[in-house]
Homo-oligomer: A and B are copies of this chain.
Amino acid sequence: MKKHNFSAGPSILTQEVLQKASEAVLNFNNDNLSILEISHRSPAFVAVMEKARSLVLELLDLENKGYSVLFLQGGASLQFLMTPYNLMKENGKAAYLDTGAWSSKAIKEAKLFGEVEVVASSKDKNYNYIPKNYTIPSAVDYIHCTSNNTIYGTQIKEFPKSDNVLVCDMSSDIFSRQLDFTQFDVIYAGAQKNMGPAGTTLAVVKESILGKTGRTIPSMLDYQVHISKDSMFNTPPVFAVYTSMLTLQWLKEKGGIAAIEKINNAKAELLYSEIDNNPLFKGVAEKEDRSNMNVTFVLTDDSLKDKFDSMCKEADISGINGHRSVGGYRASIYNALPLESVQVLVNVMKALK
């Protein structure tokens, strides 16, 4: 009996993906070898890598539009460093939107490379909203934003409009909603929310923006090096890429982003409407900026905490504790979480007295 897994990340993967991944650890491709013990240069794994890369472009509707897909290591945290290294000119400048702890970390690393202008921040209200009506300076090398803020439960609905290069950390909502992905020049995302297990990081890079900084970039941090080697400059994280490929395949079979978005919207509506209608609960994020991936809420009466926690536990609900900097609860309702799990949580909320 599986739990209802609302973990913020690493987070739920579908059962059929887990089943196939588990089998591949014993016998991959019916070749009597584990996927953990074969060469990454073997035709069977090269095919996995190529399939994963092409599925990303297909799902994001970015085929034949000048984008390259990379499966890297180091998490979004290494991308915080790779983006300025690859995009900020010597003595250059970048604009950052500060919507939470992860944006702040990205800003900190970028400052090692040049001037960083924070164009807007929602820090004044512990990041419970998305800043709007900010002005973007015209002469910047790029603009950086974080599409979804896991900790606070906020999500950008309208992205910065400008002629500048636009970089987006989509770690916690990639593949969850339809967007015009051509508005972005770099999209990066740690796999461990909507794509796969921890251990690989997706980078989708528009090739024409590269090679313009005048910097000498160390090989492992250079998008162009990884692109020139088809994402196999060095040994890739084989199992994480394979499991991501399985998840991307599952998403495609389900009807792609358009189909999963409908389900994601239904899950979010069900849960937010309970939060709004049940006097025992209150949402944390501003309504217009609410995330469809991470739903943050608190009890209006703290004395009910132990009761609610034990009711959740009894219902096999797992991973809904809020982040320590926000408190309360956070239900992460990523692509792989079924509507039924949200219904179970809502039923518990309704039953609380």
Residues from chain B with a CB closer than 8 A to the CB of A10 are: 36-40, 235, 238
> Is B36's CB under 8 angstroms from A237's CB?
no
Closest Cβ–Cβ distance, residue A253 to chain B (whole Å): 20
How many identical chains are in the complex? 2
Question: Which A4-62 residues sit within 8 Å CB-CB of chain B?
Answer: 5, 7-13, 18-19, 21-23, 25-26, 31-34, 36-40
A8 vs chain B, min Cβ distance (A): 7
Q: Is the CB of A3 within 8 A of B33?
A: yes
Q: Does A221 contact B (CB under 8 A)?
A: yes
**Complex interface: stretch among A128-136, A176-184, A190-198, A258-266:** A190-198
Query: Does A236 have its Cβ within 8 Å of any Cβ on chain B?
Result: yes
Interface residue count for A (Cβ, 8 Å)? 63
Give Cα A130–Cα B298 distance, bound, in whole angstroms: 65
- Tell me if A26 and B18 are in contact (CB < 8 A): yes
Quote the shortest CB–CB distance from A44 to chain B (angstroms).
12
Q: Do B33 and A220 touch across chains, with their CB atoms under 8 A apart? A: no
Chain B hits for A78, CB < 8 A: 73-74, 220
A3 contacts B32, C-beta separation under 8 Å = yes
Pick the residue among B18, B112, B220, B237 that contacts A25 (CB under 8 A).
B18
Q: Are B237 and A1 in contact (CB under 8 A)?
A: no
Given contacts A73-B73, A77-B234, contact A26 B19 (CB under 8 A): yes
B1, B13, B81: the one within 8 Å of A36 (CB): B13
Contacts A/B (CB < 8 Å), 24 sampled = A3-B31, A8-B39, A10-B235, A10-B238, A13-B36, A13-B37, A21-B36, A22-B23, A25-B25, A36-B196, A36-B198, A73-B237, A75-B235, A77-B219, A81-B219, A109-B218, A192-B235, A198-B236, A198-B238, A199-B237, A199-B240, A237-B237, A239-B239, A239-B240
Interface residues of A (CB under 8 A from B): 1-3, 5, 7-13, 18-19, 21-23, 25-26, 31-34, 36-40, 73-78, 80-81, 105, 108-109, 112, 190, 192, 196-200, 216, 218-221, 233-240, 243, 316, 318-319
- Beyond known contacts A11-B37, A36-B198: 15 more, CB 8 A cutoff: A1-B32, A10-B36, A10-B235, A13-B37, A18-B25, A18-B26, A18-B36, A22-B26, A32-B316, A36-B243, A75-B234, A80-B220, A108-B219, A192-B235, A198-B238
- In the A-B complex, the 7 residue pairs with the closest CB atoms: A199-B237, A73-B73, A22-B25, A36-B197, A77-B234, A81-B218, A198-B238
